[in-house]
A and B are shown apart, each in its own frame.
Chain A
Amino acid sequence: MTKPIVEVRGVHRTFGAGPTAVHALRDVSFDVEPGTMVALVGRSGSGKTTLLNVIGGLDRADRGSLSVDGTDITRLDEDGLSRLRREKVAYVFQTFGLIPVLSAAENVGAPLRLARTPAADREKRVELLLDLVGLAAHAEQRPAELSGGQQQRVAIARALAASPRLLIADEPTGQLDAETGRSVMALLRGVVESEGVTALVSTHDPVMMALADRVIRISDGRLHE
């Protein structure tokens, strides 16, 4: 049996204190097997984003342990988390988060620049990824000149650029219409297969759940499988 890529044990996350405290995560534990696509579903305010942030190192758990690809991320300092994000974890956000003045290709190449990949390799990889997300023809366009679905594809290509082990996507289809959302989902499903990456995707979308290898439900900060 392969070692889980994500191990979550007894994680708590509480915002605020006293009577107004919000318990966003309560004693959350689960594992994610490598190369799988896991859907995280739950009502608004149930704690999906909080959980993904804690796993990705954007936020810290109050209690519990978290390891990503064998690294105990609760012990990492800021620079360690930066390295983690540079090397192992990539994000796709609901709002795409592309850099407006850079072309689609340059946006995709950004993580490779941070990783100081040689220019030739970078260009080759960018070309490959844009091809993968079906945007080879739009490489030189800027985000404002792309549709929402196209922008999210660029964001996915960027997330994959540095060959992460784990892809975290927080409602990647939230701002897209149903049709476009579905094709983006299909793309995500596809890259999990082709790139061998593990994906952790939060969603409201039933279709997404159908595409996932596994669905984890969360409500009020507690998991229900």
Chain B
Amino acid sequence: MRPALHWPSIRGRARADAGPLLLSAVVVAVVTFLAGAVPVALGDTADEAVQAAVRQAGSDADVQVQARWEYDDGSGGGRVRTARSAEALDDLRDRSLDELGPLGEVLLPPVELVDSPYLKIVNGAEPRSFRIDYVAGGSGPAVTWVSGAAPQPSVARLDVEAPFNGPPWPVQVGVSEATAARLGVKAGDRLQVEDDNRNPKDVRVSGVFRPTDPGDPAWQAAPWLLNPVHGRDGAGITRFGGMVSKDSLPDFRLAFEPDQTNRIVRFSPDPALLTLDSAQRIVSAVVRLKATSASSGDRSTESQWWTQLDTVLSDVQDQIDAATAQAAVLLIAVTTVAVLILLLAAELLAARRSPALTVARQRGAALPSLGLELLIESALVAALAAGAGALLSALFTGAVAAAWTLPVVLAGLLAGPAFGVVRAFRATRDRRVPANRGARLVARRTAALRRLTLELAVLAAAATALTLLNRHGVLPSAGGTVLLPAAAPALAVLTGAALLLRLLPLITGLALRQALRSSRPLAVFGAARAASASARPLPVLTLVGAAALASFALAVTSTVDRGLTDGAWRTVGADARLRVASDSVVTVPETAQRIAATPGVRHAVAAQVVDVAPLVVADAERPARLVIVDSAAYRALLAETPLPALPSLPAALSLPTASSPAAPNQPTASGPAVPALVRYAGGHVRTGDHLKLPRQAAPALDLVATGIAPAVDSSEDLVVVDAATMTAAGYQVVPDTIWVTGPGAGQAAAAHSGEGLVDLRAEVEASRRDAPLVTGLIRLAWASAAMLLALGLLGFALSASAGAPERWQTLSRLRTLGLRTSEARRVAAGELLPLALLAAAGGPLLGLLLIHLTVGPLSLRLLTAQPEAPPLVLPWAALTVLFLAFPAMVAAVVPLESALRRRRRLAEVLRVGGA
């Protein structure tokens, strides 16, 4: 039988209930927009993040291949001048391009390079070094010769054999104008240079050049060819460079030992070509390439591949995965609450329509027809709303993540008809409560069982999701799907809300009993109303869920915010850090003193930081970052930062050699041990354990863990020792790092940027905050929190309005007993307050409990760049707003409801209600 549709009813109902329908439409539209746009925006952001990471990694992301030259041993015991050296380099380039395969598509045209070892310029007072380089890229790099000429072969016979042990082989180089001016050389001059072993080299200037395009990528491989570079070969040393040509390259080779110069081809990735999708493929291609690479000790001419591109890409991929999962968590939260709101609105609508639906049924309308009529209405509303949301999403992001919008659109489509049909069915079935007690009991038990089953199902889902989340984290790379763990917070909140739903009747019941014992009539009536309203499940689930998930989202923003600040502190270790190459023994402490004397600087502490010290604990290698520092000065510096304090380090300990000879960790050599503060992520080392620091040409140094190293730095494994104690123990301390604090720290450190690498905490933090993923996620978390709060308040308004007819019916009856209007308002507030307080207090508590449980597994540290999960930071101000918002709603809703009914006389109100 075809269900018969009654179009006038459809139109009439829609017109009568335009308000609630419009409200549902707005919720569907807004959530469709958010859920449809965020995943698309995230995808775009992800590509941006990949590109930014590669750009930031700079030369670390380059793919470099290196190979030895072919043997050039001559028959006369010397080395043969290889005229076709440049072609041999081209061969390596072509071979590498073949080996790269499809990887080549994301790489820019390569640069070929031959680099000399460090040479020292012997004349002049200033410490200067010199490099000889051959560079070749796509178009040259082209130069014009300002004076002299391009380097020529230094011999007439191109394939001559250089005698073994002969004088230094002459090589011609061209120098830039800047270099010529600074060195005071001109075409035809011989440079006064010698190698590390003080062997002079015969390097002659053939001419002075000017680059046609200084921006040519080929120059990036050896920028010192254009302009002298300060600090590259150690503090205070300026590096100069001379360029050989294709013709003088063979002489360049002969000027050095065979393995002192190598063929290098360097490929830079083209960031614009990288996407998240391609990143995965590139990582596996790079890993494959590295697997085929010859080892550096290999004496063959095989290619050795070197690149950090895979690490850079997998790191950013992890970040993207984390951000994606965190975004999924927030979207699922918003979607869940939105679906609950739609159910609440549908319930309200069905209740309003109850009389009309009952009449329709009594007139003979079949349930399927009614259902279809309601479905037509909701389909129209949902389609228009979802269409508007999708359109907005497409306008802002160019696409719509349709799958994400599905739950809310479906809820918008089905909730109304479902509640309506159930209403109509209940209204007209024979609903007399079974007369006999037994049957009533059975009915009640069935209902209780159904509810318990539902609760247990949600609980089981939440437990599974939380377990998955805790065991594997949110990252799909750890072998899980994204969706279930990401749904963990929403599911857990629902479970908690269901628990509170069980609790609420107990609380209101208790309040009622308390009120009955008191002599305040209003308390009795308020508590009685609250008790009868407390059984409705949807309001509690919606409000508590919204408040809990809003608190969760707020805690994410505050935790990430603080995490970014803390992460920058730990990365830099102070307001500014200056790192110099380790071969400048004398200058670092002096520089530190000079910086310390600068106005605006509070502390400047020099330290030696060994990034990976080869420490040994109980015969196991436990590499860690070793910080050798004046511990008193360092403690004073740390005390003025948010970083944790440095525990005290005792002076060198004499070992109780005789007392406990059997102890497993005792060193074999006796003597004083250097006290160390130790922190290993794996907890491998405990206080009292000994660590051995192997040394060249000396017995290993004995360290003893006397305490736990504070989390002051970005490494997971850290050992801190006192510099003076180390020196006393015979270790030569070579400071290479200066930490600077104070308002003028940045400027003071930057003034010494020529001596090394300067990192400014403020800059590090700003650049992380500006990273597309971080900005995007923080914005999403704020938007979600705001949306959840708005949905929560809307849910409150809907619940209040759904309960209003019954509430004011009862209040009218109480008014026939003599209750005043003002008293009626207070009773109404008493009814609404428990729900509001439950949401205001229970919601945030639940949300904070949840973020406490999930802050680690959510991998927020990947965004804040911290070695461990950031500590939870509670957003007190926002939570206070959240806490006050719901009671404020009571204060707003009650007078409004009362005012709306003021014009109606008691007689009318009593006449309308039938219950």
Give the interface of A toward B (CB within 8 A): 49-50, 53, 56, 58-60, 78-79, 82-87, 90-91, 93, 95, 97, 99-102, 106, 110-111, 113-116, 119, 158, 162
Contact = CB atoms under 8 A, between A and B. Distances in A.
Contacts of B911: 49
Contacts of B586: none
A86 B813 contact: no
Interface stretch (B235-243, B694-702, B814-822): B814-822
26 contacts: A53-B907, A58-B816, A58-B907, A59-B906, A78-B820, A79-B820, A82-B818, A85-B815, A85-B816, A87-B818, A90-B817, A91-B816, A93-B910, A95-B915, A99-B525, A101-B512, A101-B531, A102-B524, A106-B524, A110-B521, A110-B524, A110-B814, A110-B817, A111-B817, A113-B519, A114-B521
Interface residues of B, number: 27
B519 A86 contact: no
Given A106-B516, A114-B521, A101 B817 contact: no
A70 to B, nearest CB: 18
B914 interface: yes
B905 A83 contact: no
Given A97-B813, A106-B516, A106-B524, 9 more contacts: A50-B907, A78-B820, A82-B820, A85-B816, A85-B818, A99-B525, A99-B810, A99-B814, A101-B512
Given A53-B907, A101-B512, A95 B914 contact: yes
A82 B815 contact: yes
Contacts of A59: 905-908
Closest 4 A/B residue pairs (Cβ): A86-B818, A59-B907, A113-B521, A53-B907
A79 B815 CA distance: 11
B818 A111 contact: yes
Given A99-B528, A106-B516, A119-B519, A85 B905 contact: no
Contacts of A119: 519
A83 B818 contact: yes
Contacts of B821: 78, 82
B912 to A, nearest CB: 12
A57 to B, nearest CB: 8
Nearest to A117: B519
Contact of A100 (B532, B817, B818, B914): B532
A111 to B, nearest CB: 5
A86 B914 CA distance: 23
Contacts of A86: 817-818
A141 to B, nearest CB: 13
A213 to B, nearest CB: 25
A114 B908 CA distance: 23
Main secondary structure of the interface of B (DSSP, over half): helix
Contacts of B521: 110, 113-114, 116
Contacts of B906: 53, 58-59
Contact of A102 (B528, B818, B908): B528
Contact of A85 (B516, B810, B817, B915): B817
A60 B528 contact: no
Nearest to B820: A82
Interface of B: 512, 516, 519, 521, 524-525, 528, 531-532, 810, 813-821, 905-908, 910-911, 914-915
A102 B521 CA distance: 13
Which interface residue of A82, A86, A87 has the most chain B CB atoms within 10 A? A82
Contacts of B914: 95
Contacts, number: 76
A85 to B, nearest CB: 4
A162 B819 CA distance: 13
B564 to A, nearest CB: 52
B351 to A, nearest CB: 17
A95 to B, nearest CB: 7
Contacts of A158: 817
Nearest to A111: B817
B910 A58 contact: yes
A52 B117 CA distance: 112
A208 to B, nearest CB: 21
Which interface residue of A60, A84, A86, A101 has the most chain B CB atoms within 10 A? A101
A114 B815 CA distance: 10
B512 A113 contact: no
Contacts of B907: 49-50, 53, 58-59
Contacts of B820: 78-79, 82
Contacts of B512: 101
A95 B909 CA distance: 13
Contact of B519 (A56, A78, A110, A116): A116
A115 B521 CA distance: 9
Contacts of B915: 95
Given A53-B907, A59-B907, A114 B819 contact: yes
A77 B525 CA distance: 24
Nearest to A49: B911
B819 A82 contact: yes
A121 to B, nearest CB: 12
Contacts of A90: 817
Contacts of A83: 818
B910 to A, nearest CB: 7
Nearest to B534: A101
Contacts of A60: 905
Contacts of A53: 906-907
A125 B818 CA distance: 18
Contacts of B818: 82-87, 111, 114-115, 162
Contacts of B910: 58, 93
A17 to B, nearest CB: 16
B440 to A, nearest CB: 10
A91 B910 CA distance: 12
A91 B525 CA distance: 18
A158 B516 CA distance: 17
B270 to A, nearest CB: 73
B816 A101 contact: no
A43 B773 CA distance: 76
A95 B521 CA distance: 23
A111 B519 CA distance: 12
Contacts of A78: 820-821
A17 B528 CA distance: 40
B435 to A, nearest CB: 10
A53 B906 CA distance: 9
Which interface residue of A84, A86, A87, A162 has the most chain B CB atoms within 10 A? A86
Which interface residue of B512, B528, B914 has the most chain A CB atoms within 10 A? B528
A200 to B, nearest CB: 14
A84 B521 CA distance: 18
Contacts of A50: 907
Given A91-B816, A97-B813, A58 B905 contact: yes
A57 B907 CA distance: 9
Nearest to B902: A78
Contacts of B524: 102, 106, 110, 113
B717 to A, nearest CB: 63
Nearest to A92: B816
A83 B820 CA distance: 8
A60 B903 CA distance: 13
A116 B550 CA distance: 44
A157 B907 CA distance: 22
Given A58-B906, A78-B820, A101 B528 contact: yes
Contacts of B519: 113, 116, 119
Nearest to B813: A97
A10 to B, nearest CB: 20
Contacts of B528: 99, 101-102
Contacts of B516: 106
A87 B821 CA distance: 16
A114 B817 contact: yes
Contacts of B908: 59
A65 B531 CA distance: 42
Contacts of B815: 82, 85
A160 B820 CA distance: 20
A162 B531 CA distance: 25
A82 B911 CA distance: 19
